[in-house]
Amino acid sequence: MALMRDRRIPVLPNLITTGSIFAGFYSIMHSIHGDYRRAAWAVVVAGVCDLLDGRVARLTKTQSEFGVQYDSLSDLCSFGFAPALLGYFWALENFKRLGWAVAFLFLVCAALRLARFNIQGSTEEKEHFQGIPSPGAAGVVIGSVLFHQEFSSGGNLHFFPARVIFLFVMFGTALLMVSGVRYRSFKSINLKSVRPFQMLVLGALILFMVMLSPELAVFTTAYGYLASGLIETVFFMRKGVREVIESDDEDENKGLDDDDGKVTLLPS
């Protein structure tokens, strides 16, 4: 019976997930040895594998509960532990206890984010995530590292004000993972509904950015996605407040109309 159950485990998508775990482990090893550029790009490779495994499972119709749980553990390694260590060794080590506390918070929030998603995955909106996804949060860390490695002398982040800013960025990104801020999911996008010419223009722009500077492309994409959820949340909050005010005005106007329509009888 055990052999029969093992045969039902799909091989191809879970093999891609294993590749994501390997990339996360590779990143951890290079973070420890101080090769931050390779460590950051390894997380990018893990993100590509994370995008592919679910799509391959859907295309081959090999989705399974085993794959869901395995993918979740992979994400904790590649987008929780790996970027937390990378951020710590690159910029936060000199803060001592505060530095490793922020790195630990990032790891814990990634674990909590994944656990909440596993529970709410079936009931959550398909168009939005609740809180920034762990790959998006990891992208903020690796985007910062790659930007620094490309446009400076490399190595650790030595400029103290920049280290303080990154400390707050990593702290805020960790909290955003467990927040109620909605982030748009691109899994529900129907590419068939997009015009081919628009796709070609978008593809050309992406290739232009990658050819110009891959590090800058990762940086702008990561921080753009981080800001998108905050901007969209503020927009919906303002829209909700406006709708409440308009509904209150309509109720007041109805009340005035009802008063105008009443006939007051004076006592004789």
**Over residues 24-51, mean pLDDT:** 96
Asked whether the predicted pLDDT for residue 186 surpasses 80, the reply is no
Domains belonging to the chain, first-starting first, are 7-244 (1.20.120.1760)
Q: In the prediction, which pLDDT does 222 show? A: 95
- Percent of the chain past pLDDT 70, that is, above it, reads 79
Contacts by 48-53, CB closer than 8 A, 24 or more apart: 49/16, 49/17, 49/19, 49/20, 49/23, 50/17, 50/20, 50/74, 50/75, 50/78, 50/79, 50/135, 52/16, 53/13, 53/14, 53/16, 53/17, 53/20
**Spatial separation of the C-alpha atoms in residues 14 and 218, rounded to whole Å:** 26
State pLDDT tens for residues 46-58.
999 999 988 888 8
Q: In the prediction, which pLDDT does 194 show? A: 62
Pairing of strands 182-184, 128-130: antiparallel
State pLDDT tens for residues 142-153.
999 999 998 887
Q: In the prediction, which pLDDT does 3 show? A: 38
Q: In the prediction, which pLDDT does 256 show? A: 53
**Over residues 107-116, mean pLDDT:** 94
Q: In the prediction, which pLDDT does 206 show? A: 81
Q: In the prediction, which pLDDT does 4 show? A: 40
**Spatial separation of the C-alpha atoms in residues 268 and 250, rounded to whole Å:** 37
Question: How does the average pLDDT of the chain come out, rounded?
Answer: 84
Asked whether the predicted pLDDT for residue 129 surpasses 80, the reply is yes
Q: In the prediction, which pLDDT does 204 show? A: 86
